[in-house]
Structure 1
Amino acid sequence: MDLITELEEARAAEKDQAHFYRTLAAEAEDRADEAMSERFNELHADEQHHVSRLTARLLELGASLAELQPSDSSSARMDGWEAAASMREDAEVERYERLLQAEGVDAGTRALLEEILDTERHHATDLGGKWTQA
């Protein structure tokens, strides 16, 4: 396992996840559904926080950051969003559990991965956000 590559992939996935929730939040706002808009925006904030933390860690490890390409969240819709979000969150949990099992993960990276995993487990269980502190 190349730690830098794995962290870059996690960063890209987090950006995609943030965009997914932002797309849902925009739909909720268009529907004037304040409760769902807040819920999606809280999930978005957590995922965006993960992007920022992974970006910082990659820079600390001396990586050159790849530009993150915009994801296509055109399929993100409020109707049936729970099933899609649940699958996405389960994949996030699996990613961080796998990363934590890998050899050669330094203490600083391990602490970050554990923190993100904790948040992702909450997301998978509750499909709600704002588990991270800004």
Structure 2
Amino acid sequence: MSCFAAACPRYENGRRTNFGFYSFLNGELAGMSLLSVDSWDEKSGSTGADVFRHMRGRGVTPGSKPHLFYLAFEVLGLNRVATGHRVSNVASQRSIAKTPGFQFEGIMRESGVNDAGEFEDELLYAILRRDWLALYDKTQVRVVE
């Protein structure tokens, strides 16, 4: 099995597991991405990212997704990775739109409170393993062993 760091990830079935990654742009730290395994039994996970303000709008998060999907689908054997964004988060909306494979799945009405203290909807998306296999070339992912 190929791994991303000095050691393979350790995980236990039945337990939620999080993997965090640094994102770089032209050799400079740009932010972080997260892959959570939400259910080992259902082979499902979720992802999110946070990019430093001065690095936003430069494709950092969509650029990290092939590697994150490789870990999710090839290494960990997941079948589904979900993500989402609040309606007012235009940057996340653009990032998800730039990521091949994410399909819109629905709306969680008034799922959280925004910065103004108002309830706001969240738009939900997911990619399946079969979508990843059709859209991505896993040989283009650099694996550090």
**TM-score by shorter chain over 0.5:** no
Q: TM-score, normalised by structure 2?
A: 0.30
Which protein has the bigger helix share? 1
